[in-house]
Amino acid sequence: MPDRAAKAKVVKARLDTKKAAPKTAADKGKIEAGPLEKVLDNKITKRTFLKGTLAAGAVVGVSALAAKSPISPLQAVSSYPGVQIASSIVLPTSTPSVDPFAPQNVSLNVNGTNYSVSIEPRAMLANVLRDNLGLIGTKMGCNRMSCGACTVLIDGLAHEACQYPAYRAVGHTILTVEGGVPAQAPGSKVTPDPVVVALQNAWVDNDGGQCAFCGPGMIMAAAQLLKQNPNPTVDEIKATLSGNLCRCGNYLNIIASVQAAATTLGGT
Ligand code: FES
Ligand code: FES
């Protein structure tokens, strides 16, 4: 191990070597002068040097753009070193004149009545039913297609309306729990849906609803079943309602309600 004096000697020798090293381009023959040293030798300040460099760069850049003008954004990006743009990408050259997110007027057939309504393209059917048409029988529980509270029939098939774009329902028939109630719109002569009516009555008679929040979704899911299968077994009822949650745990009365509705409609 070298002692402190030996270490100090080594350090001093290194410092002396650094001091002896050439510092500027004035020490010609020891180092080759770089651009900055050449500038300094010509008595030009760093500030003047940088200003001149930037100005020259700007002139070159503008000249290049002018020579290629007009240049598209795609050309500009693809001209960067190392950047490759797939030939299939087409960038818009102008701003669209129509706002794709603006509300549009559409017609929705709900419970046999045609409604004219202005909706945003992103609007979900459950929101349109409740907020635009005032049909608040369709409930919103999770808003994530998990609880089934928002179930409606579209062309006879059960769908969770909370995640069903209203635009997709244009041109199709929508049946909600209000389909069992007459006169939903002023002047409407639409007759109530008999299956939905039977289920609503059975729900009342069999205590199908405890808090009843799940009721509209359960009834509409059961409506699809009874329209396709007038005599469902208990297992078939359970399977049909497996996508609907009842937070009150009222499942036995709900199943009894569906069975009672099936009997009312002529099933056994
Ligand atoms: S609110 Fe639509 S599934 Fe729950
Ligand atoms: S009766 Fe309350 S959630 Fe089903």
Ligand 2 centroid from CA 138, angstroms: 14
Is 171 found in the same domain as 110? yes
Query: Do 121 and 87 share a structural domain?
Result: no
State the pTM of this model.
0.65
pLDDT in tens, 109-119: 999 999 999 99
Query: Is the domain of 70 the same as that of 35?
Result: yes
215 and 175, same structural domain?
no
Q: Please give the mean pLDDT across all residues of the chain.
A: 82
Q: Are residue 108 and residue 176 in the same domain, yes or no?
A: yes
Question: Measured from the CB, is residue 162 less than 6 Å from ligand 1?
Answer: yes
Give me the pLDDT at residue 180, please.
Answer: 86
In-domain check, residue 18: no
Mean pLDDT, residues 67-81 taken together: 60
Q: Is residue 8 part of a domain?
A: no
Q: Is the pLDDT of residue 30 over 80?
A: no
More confident residue, 105 or 26: 105
Mean pLDDT of 49-55: 60
Averaged pLDDT, 200-216: 97
Q: What is the CATH number of the domain that holds 217?
A: 1.10.150.120
What local confidence, expressed as pLDDT, does residue 1 receive?
46
Residue 161 CA to ligand 1 center (angstroms) comes to 7
Q: Is residue 7's pLDDT more than 80?
A: no
Number of structural domains found in the chain: 3
For the Cβ of 142 lying below 6 angstroms from any atom of ligand 1, the answer is: yes
222 within domain boundaries: yes
pLDDT at 129: 98
Q: CATH code at 176?
A: 3.10.20.30
Please give the average per-residue pLDDT across 13-36, as a whole number: 59
Binding site membership of 158 for ligand 1 (Cβ less than 6 Å): no
Strand partners, 118: 105
* Residue 99 in domain: no
Question: Could you tell me the residue range of the domain that residue 61 belongs to?
Answer: 26-92
Question: Pocket of ligand 2, candidates 247, 255, 257, 258: which has the most ligand atoms within 8 Å of its Cβ, to mutate?
Answer: 247
Show which of 92, 118, 139 is a domain's final residue.
92
